[in-house]
A and B are shown apart, each in its own frame.
Chain A
Amino acid sequence: MIPAAGAAGECTGGDCLPVHFYSSSRNTVTSVVGYVRKTRGRVLNYSENMQEFFQKDAGVRIYLHIPFCVRKCLYCDFLSMPQGEETRERYVNALLCEIMHQGDCPPGTPVETIFFGGGTPSILEERQLDAILDALHERFCVPRDAEISLEMNPGTADSEKLRAMREMGINRLSIGVQAMHDGELKLLGRIHTVEEAREAFQLARKAGFENINIDLMSALPGQTFRDWSDTLAEAVGWGPEHISAYSLIIEPGTPFSAMYESGDLPPVPEEETDRQMYRFTGEYLAGKGYRQYEISNYAKPGRACRHNTGYWTGQEYLGFGIGAASCAGGMRFSNTRDLQEYVRAMAIPDILAVRTDLHRLTEREKMEEFMFLGLRMTAGVSRTAFASRFGKQIEDVYGEVLQKQIRQGVIIPTEDGVRLTQRGVDVSNYVLADYLL
């Protein structure tokens, strides 16, 4: 949607701003040269919205996507691929460009959390990580108590790199251990053994990491209930601060999916077993001092991941790198998933050229997200928070759904709102779909 051209170039007062227009039909952003009078209605004013985002009191949450790995795991459908050093270097440079040319950000904007996700961010060299963090420090104000997380594959760790990472300010590691049996790791196509993962964990401790998460996967093909309980016991024995336990989903398009279809995988556990594993996880970890705070996340007191919690509680965030999603200034957008395109655009640099699916969230969408994200949290959603954010009661919007779902036993009232029941978690897709208006 492009406004009448006649309006361009007539800046007469203080209400004029450089404006970028988003065409939903072409899914592109048009940078308009010159100045355009502020337009009411359906025009999306990217710059203005971003200013709004940065002027908020809350610190900025930053996600950085590192789309590289040593080898793609068989079950993985994330945006990640093995790439040569040269490509990685070019990508990091482009990423630095994006950080440095992120406009509209007043100097000294505080940062709340930084999260290096992937892929395998730990594949980057120390100097590359250092450069990225330097750029962030230059552009933003990163306080001491900011949570800075990095996802690490145990096969990419060495003590020197770990120490360097700790020194450059990374204070939380998320280690992709995934399984505690070598057979399972092999089946998943992981590049490491259980022993190597244990070593990586110990090296991280030695390097000074006091806040470590371990990623685990349940419901693996051929996995028995016993295999899973052993896995949990082993993980707890290492003493991490945080455990993420995901039940495996065989995603279409992955090698795993093809193997599953052709019968080349051992049978996946029955749904009943899968749910038993899930229930056991919660109970067992609770007994070991890990409190569940989200569908798949468990943490020792005070160790819940601040960055991820932000997603589920509707905090805004800014994503850098290919495929990275952002929610800022009332808008949602994602960067292009095409690495070449991204690198080309950053050479100019034209930040807006990589933005896709850019749209301003309507009040309705905000309510939907508030519900379907908030309900993933064990604490559920708060009636007070809903009312203060949207200026109306939760019952006015979702009365019927809430009543029905309470009757169905998939949600339960809390002191100030509702949360999913155990049963509700089991069928959460089915339950959460009801909150789309």
Chain B
Amino acid sequence: MIFTGIYENHIMKKEITQDKIRNFCIVAHIDHGKSTLADRMIEKTGLLTSREMQDQVLDNMDLERERGITIKSQAVRLVYTARDGEEYIFNLIDTPGHVDFNYEVSRSLAACDGAILVVDATQGIQAQTLANVYLALEHDLDVFPVINKIDLPSAEPEKVREEIEDVIGLDASEAPLISAKQGLGVEDVLEAVITNIPAPDGNADAPLKALIFDSLYDSYKGVIVFCRLRDGRLRRGMKVKMMATGAGAEVVEVGYFGPGQFIPCDELSAGMVGYFTASIKNIRDARVGDTVTESARPCEEALPGYKGAQPMVYCGLYPSETPRYPDLRDALEKLQLNDASLFFEPETSLALGFGFRCGFLGLLHMEVILERLEREYDLDLISTAPGVVYKVYKTDGTMMELTNPSNLPEPTAIDRMEEPIVNAEIMVTTEFIGPIMQLCQERRGRYISTDYIETTRAVLKYELPLNEIIYDFFDALKSRSRGYASFDYELKGYEESKLVKMDILVNKEPVDALSFIVHADGAYERGRKMCEKLKDEIPRQLFDVPIQAAVGGRVIARETVRQMRKDVLAKCYGGDISRKKKLLEKQKEGKKRMQTVGSVEIPKEAFMNVLKLDTQ
């Protein structure tokens, strides 16, 4: 993190009045240009010169910049001198656009009074456009649209304008037409912020009432709490209290957000967005969604806050070398400091040894965490196939939440099982409705409706089991619609389902790390594909290795990895033993990349790759 240093130049000398503050965020479907617009707004307000601008200054994790996505929401304060000559304070909060990070979007929205909706002039409304708008409206935010990418030849701004009005019901007649990439119309957006987004209300003289919308762990300062003040003032030396956890602390520093850095100031007051530090060592003491108040003069009731993140996807993570187990634990703990939605608990696998069962918001979240663990903490990991949380109602009347298929009780002890179902909205051009409906059908989808946005585009609504979409659904969607479909989902709830545990036996031994839960109707097909896939993944061994898929002890599919026939260096040339040894060393390296399960060597990637069962 690069939040260091003091940034004195732009601290405003004048008293800031509440009506000159605007707290807002930008929401958009992925790749519609949200981060680019944020960059341009920062640039135009003069906080940084063009020369200092790095592309996407708000995305300060390497990974974000590489993948072009925004993972952790970031905030920045801009000083804008409007056309009317007045100076305004803009608190711009960047939000992630991917469906996995809805939770992060949600917490950002809680700190805002309004939102800019960016719509791509070439693509129009997409699934996440809708999802994010609804999310913003749920938070009582005023939303105004902006049509981006008008510089592209395929842009159809007028059509998109109509679409926004018809589909979302927002007045788009005044929507600025812009090209964030080229910096066109950005000033119109800045002006529109002043007119379309309300100034914060709240009483600066009332007792302190501030919402924690994010936090960050810094090894020098402790927890840095991001907050939005509803009422009152927050200043250095003040004794504050977190209303939910009851934790008390003395404020050491308050300030606001410069681009990529924290800028200390004397005081934050009602309507403002900023941060404070209070030597808080444990991030759990400053929980996101909690309300901060003054110990001596507490407010009467806490803000409603918002629901905590529920991990939706679980997988097992194991160090490929057992001695690195403590390193993995340390790394997970450190990541969790800045990512409250990451969950983990120790677990043991017969095949893989000691590791952790980890919970994530979604697949992308999981991939990001895995990549960070390997990159930033230099860990070599084996991850098991991801799964969802099942509810298992037992015959003894109790219910268990199952995150690891290996823990499924005996069939006789199970009364019934439930699986998570999501409401999915898929936006697609009409020519691909057929293939997409077929895909949803294959994934046990329940058809709800088709709504036509215009003659050529429709929103398909389906109820889908979460475990059918967590892995390769998105890829399948893209490939069957030639990239044109967009997709968003939210958890609907749990439903009873005919679920079974599939065990995979390698060389007649069940491998716990390969077990998974599957719907009974699709079990045969899945078992067959798993065996085929594993056959490709497992290299030939000294003996034939049978691979079997079994449900409840009954084998339903089988493949065999044929034994290695020949691997011999016929001529040991002259006295060149070193050369021979190099060859053997190479061989030994290959063996090291394998995990020995029973007497079979399985490549580490195989545990993850087995779920990549392309359906077409």
Contact = CB atoms under 8 A, between A and B. Distances in A.
Nearest to B577: A369
Contacts of A326: 575
A373 to B, nearest CB: 7
Nearest to A312: B572
Contacts of B574: 63, 65, 115, 117, 311, 319, 324-325
Main SS of chain B's interface residues?
Answer: loop
B566 A249 contact: no
Interface size class of A (residues with CB under 8 A): 35 or more
Contacts of A78: 573
Q: In the complex, which of the residues B572, B583, B585 has the most CB atoms of chain A within 10 Å of its own CB atom?
A: B572
A403 B572 CA distance: 26
A246 interface: yes
A63 B575 contact: yes
A243 B583 CA distance: 25
B542 interface: yes
Contacts of A275: 565-566
Interface in B272-286: none
A325 B569 contact: no
Contacts of A8: none
Given A246-B571, A311-B572, A427 B578 contact: no
B570 A296 contact: yes
B377 interface: no
Interface string A102-139: 00000000000001010000000000000000000000
Nearest to B571: A246
B478 interface: no
A368 B542 contact: no
B542 A376 contact: no
Interface string A315-328: 00101000111110
Interface string B542-568: 110000000000000000000011111
A179 B542 CA distance: 31
Contacts of A324: 574-575
A324 B576 CA distance: 8
A332 B570 CA distance: 23
B551 to A, nearest CB: 31
Contacts of B577: 311, 325, 327, 332, 369, 373
Contacts of A409: 542
B584 interface: yes
A271 B575 contact: no
Contacts of A357: 578
B527 to A, nearest CB: 29
Given A410-B542, A429-B587, A433-B588, A296 B571 contact: yes
A326 B542 CA distance: 34
B580 A372 contact: yes
B564 A430 contact: yes
A312 to B, nearest CB: 7
B584 A247 contact: no
Interface in A303-338: 311-312, 317, 319, 323-327, 332, 334
B591 to A, nearest CB: 7
A271 B568 contact: no
Contact of A319 (B572, B575, B591, B599): B575
A346 interface: no
B581 interface: yes
A12 B581 CA distance: 42
A432 interface: yes
A325 B578 contact: yes
A247 B570 contact: yes
Contacts of A311: 572, 574-575, 577
Nearest to A376: B572
A428 B569 contact: yes
Contact of A430 (B576, B580, B587): B587
Nearest to A408: B542
B602 to A, nearest CB: 16
Contacts of A63: 574-575
Interface in A176-214: none
B565 A271 contact: yes
A426 B570 contact: no
Contact of B568 (A65, A317, A319, A428): A428
Contacts of B576: 323, 325, 334
Contacts of B570: 246-249, 295-296
Contacts of B588: 433-434, 436
Interface in A401-437: 408-410, 423, 425-430, 432-436
A430 B572 contact: no
Contacts of A323: 576
A249 B577 CA distance: 18
A78 B565 CA distance: 26
Interface of A: 63, 65, 78, 115, 117, 246-249, 271-272, 274-275, 295-296, 311-312, 317, 319, 323-327, 332, 334, 357, 368-369, 372-373, 376, 408-410, 423, 425-430, 432-436
Given A78-B573, A373-B577, 4 more contacts: A248-B570, A311-B575, A373-B572, A427-B567
Which 6 pairs, one residue from A and one from B, show the smallest C-beta to C-beta distance? A271-B565, A433-B587, A246-B570, A325-B575, A271-B566, A433-B584
19 contacts: A63-B575, A65-B574, A115-B574, A246-B570, A319-B575, A324-B575, A325-B576, A325-B578, A326-B575, A332-B578, A369-B577, A372-B580, A408-B542, A427-B564, A428-B568, A429-B567, A429-B587, A430-B542, A432-B584
